[in-house]
Amino acid sequence: MSDDNTTHFGYKTVRAEEKASMVRGVFDSVASKYDIMNDVMSMGIHRLWKRFAIELAGVRRGQKILDLASGTGDLADKFAGLVGPEGLVLMSDINAAMLGVGRDRMIDRGHVGNIAYAQINAEKLPVADNSLDLVTIAFGLRNVTDKDAALASMYRALKPGGRALVLEFSKPTNKPLEKIYDTYSFSLLPKMGELIAGDAESYRYLAESIRMHPDQETLKGMMENAGFERCDVHNLTGGIVAIHRGFKL
- In three-state secondary structure terms, 56 is helix
Render pLDDT for 47-66 as a digit per residue (tens, 0 to 9).
Answer: 999 999 999 999 999 999 99
CA distance 189 to 26: 15
Q: Write down the H helix ranges in 60-146.
A: 74-83, 96-108
- The string of pLDDT tens digits covering residues 93-145 is 998 888 998 999 999 999 989 999 999 999 999 999 999 999 999 999 999 99
CATH number reported for the structural domain that contains residue 63 in this entry:
3.40.50.150
Our count of domains for the chain comes to: 1
* 123 domain residue, yes or no: yes
Which segment, 70-74, 198-202, 204-208, is predicted with the most confidence on average? 70-74
- Say whether pLDDT at 1 is over 60: no
pLDDT of amino acid 206: 82
The domain in which residue 52 lies consists of: 45-171+221-247
Q: Is 233 part of any domain?
A: yes
Residue 20 lies in a domain: no
Q: Distance of alpha carbon 63 from its chain centroid, rounded? A: 20
Q: Is residue 127 part of a domain?
A: yes
Q: Tell me which amino acid residue 55 is.
A: E
Contact 171, 215 (CB under 8 A): yes
Residue 35 belongs to a domain? no
Residue 182 lies in a domain: no
Q: What is residue 197's DSSP assignment?
A: I
Residue 191 lies in a domain: no
Helix pair angle (216-225, 147-157), 10° resolution: 50
Does 147 fall in a domain? yes
Quote the distance between the C-alpha of residue 175 and its chain's center. 25
